[in-house]
Structure 1
Amino acid sequence: MSIYHIYSLPAELLQSLVPRNSPTAQKPPSPEPTVQPSSNSIPTACNICLGATFSNLEQQRAHYRSDWHRYNVKNRLNGSQPISEFDFTQLIDALEDSLSGSESSSDEGTESDSERDAVSTLISKHKTRTSTSPDSSARRIPRTALSWFHSPPSTQIGVYRTLFPHDTPEDSYLEALKDIQTPISGGRRWAMFMVAGGHFAGAVVRVSKAGQEDEVQPKKQKKPVLDTEVLRHKTFHRYTTRRKQGGSQGLNDNAKGNAKSAGAVLRRYGEQALQDDIRNLLSDWEDDINECDLIFIRATGSNRKIFLGYEGSSISKGDDRLRTFPFPTRRPTQSELSRCLLELTRVKVSHFTEEALRAQDEAYLASLPKPKPIPPVRPATPDKPKIKPIKLSKEEEALREKWSRLLEMVSKGRLEPLKAFWEREGENLGGLDARIPEWAGEKRTATLLQLAAYSDEEDVTNWLLEMRADPTILVPRIDQEGDLEDSSEGPDKRRQTAYNLAQSRGVRDVFRRIAGAHPEWWDWFGDANIPSALSKEMEDEREEKKKARRKGLKDRVKEREAKEKPKEKPEIVVEVPSVSTPSSGPQKLGGGAGDIAGIAGLTPEMRAKIERERRARAAEARLKQVQK
């Protein structure tokens, strides 16, 4: 298996390279192959992750366990489009809670809780963004982190795009790759910094050999010049994050206010100390940083301010050398920096035939989500004209106020104020049978009698009927759209009167009682819908039946209890020796010591019975003394 360094590619390979073309001119570029499949194998592609392909089963399983695949699967279930690995890496870097990974490089296969939390956080943020973004349904062309080149007949190499200058167009990547092969004096240098969760790791490394004028080595040199060499490195840690809680103390203070615990004070001190340590280190390494070609920084939004934008900063915000790591990283350690350096400088190599590449392109195009159809634009409906409020005169305002007071007293059963108010204003309001105005909003009732019956007010209903309020007026009917119907035309099975609106038996009895006392006033049993009259004798008879029914119920309950009561055991009479107590002097509550000895050995039931008898005799003795 060939291993190539990014700055020392063979000249023969460079001359044969051509850019990896897109499947079609109008469609997005094809996915890049993964590392080192054999030329005879047929690649397996992931239909979700934008056509990612694998050369063997181990690569496929590793891909299915990756956060990138899990994120795309959840996006697909939520109806969203998958993203490329490069875009996923950018999203991970933007998270405030970074991926912590495993404690050592030997645990790369395990997935930590923070990674699962990161994927869940990304999904929730993506939902919020897509729900508010106006162009979320537009088709987005995916772009991977690697740029691939093809060397006929069956060799492909991949280089991270972030290694090329920012202003390099995609069709000029091959020329840029050839340009960086030219050796320079002193070699090329990179600066790499990581900070997350209070952990910091930094290094300045030489990533290419020096030029020919610097390659003159002593004759007795034993060690060959390596492609990469660590010139400076430093790691340290400060307590800034509460274990298993996530997020820094500063973010928690900004969201919820300053916490007053001892741990919060320590974490604030750790954040400030971490910032001072990093900035002092950057100041010490300023000369080395100025000689670097690229500067890689892995830091979240708040931590990124540690490196940039402060007075005397060694790195300016608009520096063209600034880069982010184009792949997920773990906890900042020296070993993690070494792994990232190896990942960036090692060229990805694969061996696919033309047929395999063509099959790969077809699988990729088939995996792309289809764009959602654009919904038709509906013509804008004209706004409904606003109804201007009607200006009322003083007389109309006074009338409405009187009606409001009247309806309130009727519906709340305030009979005495109602009588006094009606004596003063009854004639001005149109009498007892006057219709309730429409502006009052009482659609279910039309008269005061109907409102009193519907509100279940017996006293007000009785007073209105005694005042000869008409019980035959029909209740208004309401159609399905909430509008009133005319209920006065012809008979109808649904016709209702005030009696039908009564909510309780007491109000209905008021109607029946008045109908029995004054049958000549109205057509009670016809137009008023009252079923029958109710006289004093009928009420007394109903009350007697109710008492008899209650008495019979009590008798049946007693008989049932007598049958179910178990047969009582014969009482065992135990003679308790009487203990004479002195008539004077202190006495203890509950008897003396002789009483306790007399009931020793008895069952609890017998003891309780003896105690009751003793208390009864004591009560009789006290009663006799009082009578004397």
Structure 2
Amino acid sequence: MAQNPTDELLRRPLYVYDLPPESLGGLTLKPDADAVVEAATPPRQTSEASPDGTSGSQTCSLCKLSFVTVLDQRSHKKSDLHHYNLKQKLRGQSVVTEAEFEKLIETLEESLSGSDSEDTEDDEDQGRQESTLTALLKKQARLTEKRNNNNNEDGDDDEVAGRPGKGKPPLIWFSSPLLPENTYFGIYRALFSEEEQRQSDLVDVIRKKQLEPIAMPRPAKDGTLPPVAYKGPHFFLCMMGGGHFAAMVVSLAPRSGKAGSTTMNREATVLAHKTFHRYTTRRKQGGSQSANDNAKGKAHSAGSSLRRYNETALVEDIRALLHDWKGLLDTSELLFIRATGTTNRRTLFGPYEGQVLQANDGRIRGFPFSTRRATQNELMRSFIELTRLKVREIVPAKIEPKDSDKAAQSKASLKPVKPALSEEEETALLHTSQLQAFVRRSKLPALLSYLTKNGLSPDFDFYPPEQNHHTPRLLHYAASQNAAPLVLGILTRAGANPLLKNTEGKTAFELAGDRPTRDAFRVARSELSEAKWDWDSAKVPPAMTKSEADQRDEREKHEADKKESDRRKAEEERLRVEGPKVSDTKTRNKNVSVVASMVAKTPQERREEEARGLTPEMKMRLERERRARAAEERMKRLQGGS
């Protein structure tokens, strides 16, 4: 059967700067292009990887974000940004964008971790930690209370989100005779200058932006392109954050393919690119070293000194790169930059001597969609997202029916609508995600602190129950995760009930998957006494003290080490007496390497042997000590080199 030309066109990746003539014919601006519209289907963009032409972005209608894959959308649903916007909606306030949320985090007075010391990472300190969302909500509550008490409208309004300007939608929509009814082409507004947007004929502006495909000259041996490559129109894209920096200059002219065809994906001509990464953010603490120094004073430790050195080096590297690329930046059509936070913006926009970028440059744009960590691949993905034509079905707003029509409709059978979550359900969902995260990351002090601060029972029922039927409570979840220290702490310090069962009729002990976790129940039985719970009904075996469990583990570890040592000695003796069985040189060399591996252990084997038999907390403490020693050695080498 013959292929429909329109369907064939829409399956191709339509590049804004090289649109087929048939797509430009009859293109007209949608009358209400500046209005915020609701979509019946998520935005879809043509893709070579989709044979049926129906692939497209997933969306979050609450946060006004679109995602390439379902996994990205699910990850967003668990993010602090989404949970924060849920809280805003429940309070009747406006949601915030990703950039606005990041600015709110930057203005937090306390460290996101909530810990009082800079480099202390002992597990006891984790009990004082707060999540990003909790810290932000607490600060908002304090500021709101302060304004109410002072009746002062001018206080810290700029620091509290919830009232951002509506602005214009990121996409401009165009109708075309090639598209079905209520379906439109979309182009990002950021690709047009303010002057171009004010013109009456925006379609004519698009026609003038069309570029002829070019055959890009081959780069030199060192990877640089000849000067002719820099004369055409190009974009500068830059992202930075968390010690990561990525920048790229991309030519807008499409690259010629076979038989004069042009493609977009992986065919964009990169004129220059560079990435940097420096260790500048504090582990598990979320903030930069300079921000912590400004808030709490300068810390004195090997880690903090290394981070300060790396922050300075990163600034110097970035500014040197911008200076080298000054010619490319000065001739760029647009500059797409993601640099949230005072420190990052000061790195790019100064002021400093020899400054290249100016904050008031009219070419500067933000990325009008969600972005990930600053990498070259992310920059290329963003460039393709920016310059690819979107196809979307937009359902017109329905006219409110008259009272008589409403009465008639009420009699008709309506499709059941899933009820919106109440505030209590939203809160339970948030508590569930936070508690499960503490268990997965083995954060017992932080978990106990969270229960206390929020007034939660250790037998708190996870929400939604249908998704947590196997592990409906903390103790069940910790046992199923084989988190022995968490099990012991939840029983002895939080006071969880081991008799409670899940919907399958199993107690928490029956979900334990290894012996250390089962031993944790037995140790808890010993510490809490027999009278505390009916341990037999909880299926917990006889009590065992912690010293008995540790002695048994140590005895078994010693026996295993002795058995392994005896095996090694026996194998070495056999090889010494018998010698190689085959005269082939390769076989002899192999035997020699076998003996060498038996005699000398690798560093990884030594580390595993040191950590064998230790609890997760002890393993974490041992790993931190190793990293601290390594950081001190690096600092000594840096100081010696200077």
Would the TM-score normalized by the shorter structure come out above 0.5?
no
TM-score using structure 1 length: 0.44
TM-score using structure 2 length: 0.43
